[in-house]
């Protein structure tokens, strides 16, 4: 089958159709989707009644699955497979969680601009988020194009960031939101990862500005100075002209490349049920994710 693409934004993001992602993908179909991801970085698949098993199988077509923060938080799960990441405000008993619950702390952290698992090495490559139950208002997901952000940097800033590296820490966003009740074992479960601020995407060959809220300091800089500079770079990277806002419909599956985009959830009534299901794959050697 042939992949059909309709652009959704001047810089990136496209609606995808023409390939049945509920069925096992052929090598040709994997190649087509990788090529589209290299170009658009975000693909929107509408009307996908996927089971959890089908979503896992689709994700595994592109690389090994990543569990992310499940390595830190050992909590009761309500989904049938730990490889499915429950992006919801529903607790393990199937009820809407309390506003002050750990579940909702994760939801609030997801409303900060980030890339999935940038705090670990290997980091995440693709994420796929599938919508099952939506609230009556809000809850959109926004994406920003880090390639377009790099292209728009002043020449002086491009020169300044070349060679700079930032440390990304798994619990930084949680601590930022006021949650500091972590054991030493939890704090050490995922050691900080260090990534260059200026990178070249392995599939597209495009330069990009790799920032996000998980980044807590610039290596070799005073903490305060580094955090202020990271804040300035993040403000630039999330300018509205670089942002695609996805308005969810039940059955949507949105797939994005964490190496060339940031994303954040938007506010909704946390007392209304919202259920999405995520699968994420680890970054793997260049040859696997490049289009031939």
CB 3 within 8 A of CB 92: no
Percent of the chain past pLDDT 70, that is, above it, reads 95
Q: What is the C-alpha to C-alpha distance for residues 262 and 144, in angstroms, rounded to an integer?
A: 5
Give the pLDDT confidence of 8-17 residue by residue, as tens digits. Answer: 999 999 999 9
Give the pLDDT confidence of 35-80 residue by residue, as tens digits. Answer: 999 999 999 999 999 999 999 999 999 999 998 776 666 666 788 7
Q: What is the C-alpha to C-alpha distance for residues 146 and 287, in angstroms, rounded to an integer?
A: 22
pLDDT at 190: 82
Evaluate if pTM is beyond 0.75.
Answer: yes
DSSP state of 36: H
pLDDT at position 185 over 70? yes
Which string of DSSP letters, residue by residue, matches 122-177? Answer: S-EEEEEEEEEE--SSB--EEEEEHHHHHHTS-HHHHHHHTT-EEEE-TTHHHHHT
Q: How does strand 165-168 pair with strand 193-196?
A: antiparallel
Q: How does strand 243-246 pair with strand 85-88?
A: unpaired
pLDDT at 127: 98
Q: What is the C-alpha to C-alpha distance for residues 50 and 169, in angstroms, rounded to an integer?
A: 33
Could you tell me where the DSSP H helices lie in the chain?
27-40, 52-60, 102-109, 146-151, 155-161, 172-176, 184-189, 223-237, 286-289
DSSP state of 290: S
**What are the residue boundaries of the structural domains of the chain, listed by start?**
4-289
3-state secondary structure of 43: strand
pLDDT at 163: 96
Please report, for residues 1, 25, 48, 66, 223, the alpha-carbon distance to residue 30 in angstroms, rounded to integers and kept in the order given. 11, 6, 18, 19, 42
pLDDT at position 292 over 70? no
| Average predicted confidence (pLDDT) for the chain | 93
pLDDT at position 166 over 60? yes
4-289 in CATH: which number? 3.60.130.10
């Amino acid at each position: 089958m042939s992949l059909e693409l309709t652009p959704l934004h001047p810089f990136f993001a496209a609606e995808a159709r023409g390939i049945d992602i509920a069925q096992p993908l052929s090598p040709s179909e994997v190649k087509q989707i990788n090529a589209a991801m290299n170009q658009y970085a975000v693909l929107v698949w509408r009307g996908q009644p996927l089971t959890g098993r089908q979503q896992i199988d689709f994700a595994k077509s592109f690389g090994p699955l990543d569990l992310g923060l499940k390595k830190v938080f050992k909590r009761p799960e309500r989904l049938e497979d730990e490889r499915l990441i429950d992006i919801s405000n529903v607790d393990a008993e199937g009820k809407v969680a309390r506003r002050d619950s750990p579940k909702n702390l994760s939801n609030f952290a997801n409303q900060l601009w980030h890339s999935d698992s940038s705090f670990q090495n290997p980091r995440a490559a693709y994420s796929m988020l599938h919508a099952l139950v939506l609230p009556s208002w809000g809850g959109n997901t926004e994406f920003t194009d880090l390639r377009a952000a790099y292209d728009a940097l002043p020449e002086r800033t491009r020169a300044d960031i070349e060679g700079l590296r930032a440390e990304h820490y798994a619990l930084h966003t949680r601590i930022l939101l006021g949650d500091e009740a972590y054991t030493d074992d939890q704090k050490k479960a995922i050691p900080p990862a260090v990534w260059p601020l200026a990178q070249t995407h392995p599939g597209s060959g495009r330069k990009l500005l790799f920032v996000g809220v998980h980044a807590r300091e610039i290596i070799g800089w005073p903490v305060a100075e580094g955090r202020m500079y990271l804040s300035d770079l993040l403000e630039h990277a999330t300018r509205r002209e670089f942002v695609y806002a996805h308005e969810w419909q039940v059955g949507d599956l949105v797939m994005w490349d964490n190496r060339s985009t940031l994303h954040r959830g938007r506010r909704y009534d946390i007392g209304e049920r919202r259920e999405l299901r995520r699968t994420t794959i680890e970054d793997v050697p260049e040859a696997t994710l490049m289009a031939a």
